[in-house]
C-alpha cells in the first residue's frame, strides 16, 4: 500500500501522516530523514546529495529518486512524505511501481486556509532547552505557566522563522512548487483533498477519520 501525503508546512501533515501509518501499519518515509540518514552513513548517494545541500542547492531528481527507490525496495507498505516533489519524481515513482506491480492507493492533500496556518504557526513557541525540545502554542496548546516549559521549567522562545512574513513566503514557495503535482495527481485520479478546520477541539481526530474513510473507500 502506497500513500502520498501533500500539505503545506503548518497543515499538520506529519501528525496526520503518523496517525495513518499507525492505522495501516505503514512505514513513514520522510525524504528529509532519508537524506540525513544517507549523509550520516556517508553512502555514495549520501555524499552526492550532501554536495548540493551544503551549497544550499536542490538535490537533483535522479539522486533523490535513487535514494527513495533504494528505501522502497526494503519496504512493503509506505506513506511518502516529501516525495515526490516534482513531476519528474512523480513519473519515476509511477514507473518504479508499475515495474513492481504496485500502485498508489491515494494522494492525501491537506488544505488549511493560509490565514489559519499563519495564525497557528506564528503563535508557536518552543523550549529554549535544546535537550527538551518541547513545543507549545500560545493559542491552541498553551503551557501551564506563560513563557515557561511544563516539562523542564526553561523559558519558551519563538523560532526566528515563525513570523507572518516568513510563513507567507514559505507558503508561496510551497504552492508554486506543489500545484503542478496536485494537477498531475488530479489527472491520475488519485488526488483526495481534505479541508481542515484547525479551530475544532479534535482537529487531529476529525482529519484522521476523514483520511481513513478515503483510504478504506479506495481499498474496497
Establish whether 85 is a catalytic residue: yes
Establish whether 160 is a catalytic residue: no
Nearer to Zn ion, 58 or 152 (CB): 152
Least distance CB 32 / Zn ion (angstroms): 24
Find out whether 151 and 127 touch, Cβ atoms under 8 Å.
yes
| Active-site residue, from 94, 102, 168, 170 | 170
Strands 2-7, 104-111: pairing is parallel
Nearer to Zn ion, 152 or 200 (CB): 152
CA distances from 145 to 16, 66, 124, 157 (A): 28, 48, 15, 14
Nearer to Zn ion, 27 or 137 (CB): 137
Establish whether 218 is a catalytic residue: no
Please name the residue that has the C-alpha cell 512524505: 81
CA distances from 2 to 92, 164, 174, 186 (A): 14, 34, 23, 16
Find out whether 20 and 6 touch, Cβ atoms under 8 Å.
no
Neighbours of 203 (CB within 10 A): 17
Nearer to Zn ion, 47 or 159 (CB): 159
Least distance CB 201 / Zn ion (angstroms): 25
Least distance CB 134 / Zn ion (angstroms): 5
Establish whether 13 is a catalytic residue: yes
| Active-site residue, from 36, 85, 102, 218 | 85
Least distance CB 158 / Zn ion (angstroms): 14
| Active-site residue, from 40, 158, 159, 213 | 159
Least distance CB 30 / Zn ion (angstroms): 24
Helix/strand/coil for 6: strand
Nearer to Zn ion, 157 or 219 (CB): 157
Distance of alpha carbon 88 from alpha carbon 61, whole angstroms: 7
Please name the residue that has the C-alpha cell 503548518: 10
Q: Report the first-to-last Cα separation within the chain, whole angstroms.
A: 13
Binding site for Zn ion (CB under 5 A): 127, 129, 132, 134, 149, 151-152, 154
Establish whether 120 is a catalytic residue: no
Find out whether 118 and 11 touch, Cβ atoms under 8 Å.
no
- Annotated catalytic sites, by residue? 13, 85, 124, 159, 170
Amino acid at each position: 500500500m502506497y500513500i502520498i501525503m501533500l500539505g503545506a508546512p503548518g497543515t499538520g501533515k506529519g501528525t496526520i501522516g503518523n496517525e495513518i501509518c499507525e492505522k495501516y501499519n505503514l512505514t513513514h518515509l520522510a525524504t528529509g530523514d532519508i537524506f540525513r540518514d544517507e549523509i550520516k552513513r556517508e553512502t555514495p548517494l549520501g555524499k552526492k546529495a550532501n554536495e548540493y545541500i551544503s551549497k544550499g542547492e536542490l538535490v537533483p531528481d535522479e539522486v533523490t529518486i535513487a535514494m527513495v527507490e533504494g528505501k522502497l525496495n526494503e519496504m512493503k507498505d509506505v506513506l511518502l512524505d516529501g516525495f515526490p516533489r516534482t513531476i519528474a519524481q512523480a513519473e519515476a515513482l509511477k514507473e518504479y511501481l508499475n515495474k513492481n506491480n504496485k500502485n498508489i492507493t491515494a494522494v492525501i492533500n491537506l488544505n488549511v486556509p493560509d490565514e489559519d496556518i499563519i495564525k497557528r504557526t506564528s503563535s508557536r513557541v518552543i523550549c529554549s532547552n535544546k535537550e527538551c525540545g518541547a513545543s507549545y502554542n500560545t493559542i491552541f496548546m498553551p503551557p501551564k505557566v506563560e513563557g515557561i516549559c511544563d516539562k523542564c521549567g526553561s523559558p519558551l522562545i519563538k523560532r526566528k522563522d515563525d513570523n507572518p512574513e516568513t510563513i507567507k513566503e514559505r507558503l508561496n514557495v510551497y504552492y508554486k512548487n506543489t500545484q503542478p503535482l496536485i494537477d498531475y495527481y488530479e489527472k491520475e485520479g488519485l488526488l483526495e483533498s481534505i479541508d481542515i478546520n484547525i479551530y475544532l477541539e479534535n482537529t487531529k481526530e476529525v482529519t484522521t477519520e476523514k483520511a481513513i474513510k478515503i483510504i478504506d473507500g479506495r481499498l474496497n
